[in-house]
Structure 1
Amino acid sequence: MNPRELLEALSIAERLKDTTRHCYTSKGRHESVAEHSWNMTLMAFFIKNEFPEVDINKVIQMCIIHDLGECFTGDIPTFLKTKEHEVSEETLLNNWIKSLPTTTREEMLSLYKEMKERKTLEAKIFKAIDSLEALIQHNFSDISTWSENEFDLNLTYANDRVNFSQYLTLLREEIRKDTIQKISNKK
C-alpha cells in the first residue's frame, strides 16, 4: 500500500473514532466503535496463552477490522439490527474494500469470509470476544445507562458463542456474576 493509499484508507477508518455505540464508558460518555475494537484487540492479546494452537495475530486482525462497515452506516445495536441493515453495511463495506490495493483487498475479503462462516477456531474466538466485550463494557458502565432489554441480554447474550471453549465459558460465567452483582446493587 503506497503512502497515499494508506492515508486515504485511514481517512475512512478514522470515522470509527467518532462513531458512537449504544454502550457507555465507566465515566459516563458514549463509547466509540474504535474503542470497542481496541478493547477487543487487547482482550485477544491477554487471552492468547489460553489458546496456544491459535493464530492469535489473525484473531487480532479480525478484531481490528470487524466493524469497519460501521464507517458507512454507524453502529446499530445487535438487538435492533435487521437483515436489511446487514446487507447495506456489507455492500458499502465491500464497495470500499474493492477500492483498496489488491493484496490488502484480498486479505480483508478472506478475513471477512472466515469471520462470517465462523468455522475456524480463530473466527469463533473473534466472535466470542466481540460479544463478550460488549457485556463487559455494560458491566463497567453505570446501570442507569442500560436500556430495559439489556438486563436480560447481559445475563444470556453470547452463551452460544462461547460453548466451544472451556476458558471462554468460564469467562462468560464471571461476566454473568458481575452482571448479577450490578443488578442486585441497584435494588
Structure 2
Amino acid sequence: MTDRIAQQVAFLTEIDKLKAVDRMNPLLDGSRPENSAEHSWHLALYALVFWDFAHEDADLSAAIRMLLLHDIVEIDAGDHPIHLVSDWSVVAEKEAQAAERIFGFLPADQAQALRNDRLEFEAGISPAAYFANMLDRCQPIFQTIFNEKLEQLPPVDHLDVVKANLSTGRATHLKDGFPDAYAEASKQLGWQEDGGSEIFLQRLAFVNEVDRLKSVLRATTLCDGSRRENSGEHSWHIAMYAIILAEHADRPINIDRVIQMLLIHDLVEIDAGDKPIHGDHDVAEIEAIEQAAADRIFGLLPVDQGQKLRALWDEFEAAESDDAVFAKSVDRVQPVIANLETGGGSWIEYNVSRQQLEDRVGWKVAKGAPSLWEHLQARIREWFLENQLL
C-alpha cells in the first residue's frame, strides 16, 4: 500500500506543472494569460452548471473527469492555439507520448483508467465526451467576448480569432451541440438579434463571475516554488487529488459528490480572500464574510440550482458527512505536499511547529484518509528535525 500511495503522490506532484502552462486566452479581467490547470477547473465547473443542456444520456461525472484531466498532456506537449498553423498529427503523437509518461507515474490500473478517459474525450463520440468538447470550445469564446480589456490584449486580435472559430472553425459545432452558447456568442458579436435563453444567461453570469477565483492568491506556492498558487488552480488540483486518492478514504464515499464539492468549495474566496490555516484570524468574522459571499455568488444562479450548490458548499463547511470529511482531507493534504516539495514553504513563513501542523492539519487529513497521513509522516518528521521546529 505504501508503494501505491507513493506512486499516486508522485503523479499528483508531477501534474502541479500544469499550472505553469499558459494558454492564449486571458483571464476575464485581462490581467494575464489563463493557465491550463485553472482552465481545466473552470471547464469542470461549466459542466456542473450547464449539464442539463447536454444530451439526456450524457454522464456528468464522466465529463467532469475528462475535463479535469484532458490538458495534463500539455505539461510536455504545450498548448496549441487554434489560430496558429500546426501539424496536428505531430501534436497528437506528442500528446500520446506525454500521456504515457505522465500517467505512468500512477499504479497501472489508475494509469489505464486515465488514458481511457483522455481517449474518450479526444474521440468526442460518447454523449459525455461530445458535450465536454462543446464546453471546451465555448469557454475561451466567452472569456474573449466578455473580457474587460479586450482591446489591450496582445499579441493577436482575440476577437478575430473568435469570429473565425465560430464561422469556420471547431466552434461551428456549437450551433448543433450547444445552441444557446452559439446563439449568445453570435448575438454578442452582432451577427443576430436573439441570444441564449434566460436560464442560460443566468448560468453564464455565474461562470463569468467565478473566473475571478483565478486571481485569489494562497499562502501555498507551486511545487517548484516559483510563485503562489491561486484558488482556481488549487481547486483543480485537489479535485485530481480526490480522483486519485479516493481508495484511501476511511469510510465509503460518493467520489462524484466529493469532486463537485471541491470544484465549488473555495468560490467564497472571491469576496472573502484566502485565509491561510496557519495565520491569525477572527474565525467568527471570517465565517460571516464567507456566508455573505456564498449568498451572493450562489445567488447568481437560477434559484433551484443555486440552492443545490449552496447546500453542497454548506455540507463541505460543516465537515460532518463522510463525503465532506474526505474532501477536507485532500484539501488539507495538498498544501502539505507542496510545502515538502519546496523546502518548507508556508511553514517557514508562518513559523509552524510540528505540533501546530498536527493540530491544524494532521488530524483532519487522518480523519478522512488515515493511510495517506501515515504515509507522509517520515517526510514530515525529517523536515521538522532538520529545521528544528519541533
TM-score band by shorter chain is 0.7 to 0.9
Deviations 1:137-157 (A, max 9, x none): 221223365324334344543
CA distance in 2, matches of 1:119, 1:147: 31
**368, 378, 381: which one pairs with 1:180?**
381
Which amino acid is the alignment partner of residue 25 of structure 1?
L
Deviations 1:118-161 (A, max 9, x none): 22110111111111122122212233653243343445432332
**What is the deviation of 1:91?**
0.8
- In structure 1, the partner of 2:305 is 104
Residues 144-183 of structure 1: pairs in structure 2 closer than 5 A: 146-152=348-354, 153-165=356-368, 168-183=369-384
Q: Which residue of 1 aligns with 2:328?
A: 127
Q: What does 1:42-57 align with in structure 2 at a 5 Å threshold?
A: 42-51=240-249, 53-57=252-256
**One of 247, 263, 268 as aligned partner of 1:64:** 263
**Matched letter for residue 127 of structure 1:** K
Alignment partner of 2:267: what SS? coil
1:97, 1:105 within 8 Å by CA — same for their partners in 2? yes
Distance 1:138 1:91 in 2: 31
**1:26 is the counterpart of 2:223:** yes
Instruction: Report 1:29-40 matches (<5 A).
Output: 29-40=227-238
Cα deviation for residue 184 of structure 1 reads 4.3
1:3 to 170, 195, 200: 200
Cα drift, residue 185 of structure 1:
4.9
- Say which is worse superposed, 9-18 or 62-71, in terms of deviation: 9-18
TM-score (norm 1): 0.85
Structure 2: gaps spanning 5 or more residues? 1-49, 51-198
Of 8, 11, 16, the residue aligned with 2:213 is 16
Q: Distance between the aligned counterparts of 1:104 and 1:130, measured in 2?
A: 24
Q: Per-residue deviation at 1:100? A: 1.2
2: CA distance between counterparts of 1:182 and 1:164?
23
Report the Cα distance in structure 2 between the residues aligned to 1:76 and 1:119, rounded to whole angstroms: 21
> Contact between 2:202 and 2:300, CA under 8 Å: does it hold in 1?
no
Question: TM-score, structure 2 length as denominator?
Answer: 0.43
The one-letter code of the counterpart of 2:242 is: A
Q: CA RMSD in A?
A: 2.3
Deviation at 1:180, TM superposition (A): 2.5
1-side partners of 2:220 and 2:366: how far apart?
25
Q: Which amino acid aligns with 2:377?
A: R
Q: Compared with structure 1, are the counterparts of its residues 3 and 142 closer, same or farther at alpha carbon in structure 2 (3 Å cutoff)?
A: farther
Task: State the distance in 2 between where 1:150 and 1:133 align.
Answer: 16
CA distance in 2, matches of 1:162, 1:22: 19
Structure 1: distance between partners of 2:342 and 2:253 = 31
% identical equivalent positions:
22
Higher mean alpha-carbon deviation, 19-28 vs 133-142, is at: 133-142
Q: Does 1:75 align with 2:277?
A: no
How many residue pairs get aligned? The number is: 185
- For residues 131-142 of structure 1, the aligned pairs below 5 Å read 131-142=332-343
- 2-structure distance, mates of 1:156, 1:84: 21
From the CA coordinates, give the structure whose radius of gyration is larger. 2
Tell me, what secondary structure is at the counterpart of 1:157?
helix
Larger RCO (CA within 8 A; separation ≥ 6)? 1
Instruction: Check the 8 A contact 1:155/1:176 in 2, yes or no.
Output: no
Structure 1 counterpart of 2:92: none
Q: Do the aligned partners of 2:248 and 2:372 also contact (CA within 8 Å) in 1?
A: no
- Alpha-carbon separation, structure 2, partners of 1:130 and 1:5: 29
